[in-house]
Amino acid sequence: MTPEEIERFEKGMKNRPHVVILGAGASVAAIPNGDKNGKKISVMNDFFQKTNTEYLLEGINLKTKSKNLEDIYSEIYERPELKDVCIKLEKAIYDYFSDLQIPDEPTIYDYLLLSLRSKDLIATFNWDPLLLQAYQRVAKITKDLPDLSFLHGNVLVGICEKHKMGGYIHNQCILKKSTLVQSENTLNF
């Protein structure tokens, strides 16, 4: 390649959008010592043990031997006789994640957001509010921030059921003065 072709190729690569995909490990890395109040976060394996929510499974004879939250939830969801347990489980998981608060000091989420631009995208499987809380914080510094996509839902994301628009839960819909609410798909297991 000629020096001009190399330069053109390099500029083209630098101008492409970036896509970053995050899983539960990113949130664990963001708050390795716990959230603002010392509360720990867990990946899907051993979730119940690490979050002190084992009591939700007491007296249930699970067929799965998996310790993965999604596997356990799937079994409970598919068993009609456990509908009440499923509802309690969903509420406990939602409440657990909703309570997490980003520490006052910058996290890897702050740095990640600031390293990307508005043409970029972060797609995350995480339900916790940490990425959105970091986004709110760094939005005070810059408006050149990436788009966010919550592939399994998020506890801080609400929807306007009338206009099918999303945003921060409890905010006003930008098309009408209706409040964004939690949808059935706030957490998609």
Q: The whole model's pTM is what?
A: 0.80
- The pLDDT value recorded for residue 180 is 57
Q: Report yes or no: 35 and 102 within 8 Å, Cβ to Cβ.
A: yes
- Predicted pLDDT at 54: 86
pLDDT at 187 (0 to 100): 47
Q: Which residues pair with 160 in a beta bridge?
A: 165
**For position 178, what pLDDT does the model report?**
61
So what's the pLDDT on residue 18? 92
Cα-atom radius of gyration of the chain, to the nearest Å? 20
pLDDT < 50 stretches in the chain: 185-189
Q: Which runs of consecutive H residues, i.e. helices, occur in the chain? A: 3-14, 24-30, 47-50, 69-78, 83-98, 108-115, 130-138
Residue 133, token pair as written in the block: 């809380």
Residue with token string 């998981």: 93
pLDDT at residue 158, as a whole number: 81
What are the residue ranges spanned by the domains of the chain? 15-38+101-155, 47-98, 156-189
